Amino acid sequence: MAMVEMVDDQSKTCIVLGGRSFVGRSLVARLLKLGFWIVRVADSTKSLQLDPDDHDYDVPLDRALSTGRASYFHVDVRNKKSVINGFLLFCTFILSYCNNCCRFC
């Protein structure tokens, strides 16, 4: 798992369903470029294949994955079990780094 950098209290978290689609990749790149978003990419692609030459989308995502500002979850919204498992994995991840800082803790 990637190391998680400490983010300030102004950071917000966004889950992007379909984060590897054309629109999803653009949204992920924009959120990361803004700098105060923690991005959780959820997509039906089983493994995340990044193109090191794609400086608009994949390079910023790769950097964010390595610092903990982004993470990837395989979720197929057509499969109920996949959605539940992805949600539980996401909740476990959030709670492991949360320090009673939000209404969900």
pLDDT tens per residue across all 105 residues of the chain: 333 344 556 788 888 888 888 898 999 999 999 988 999 898 888 888 888 888 888 888 999 999 989 999 888 777 777 777 766 666 665 555 555 555 544
pTM of the model: 0.68
d(CA 61, CA 79): 26
Confidence (pLDDT) at 64: 92
Confidence (pLDDT) at 29: 92
Q: Are 46 and 79 in contact (CB under 8 A)?
A: no
Domain boundaries, the chain: 12-45+53-97
Confidence (pLDDT) at 52: 82
Confidence (pLDDT) at 105: 45
CA angle (36, 38, 39) in 5-degree steps: 125
Q: Are 42 and 86 in contact (CB under 8 A)?
A: yes
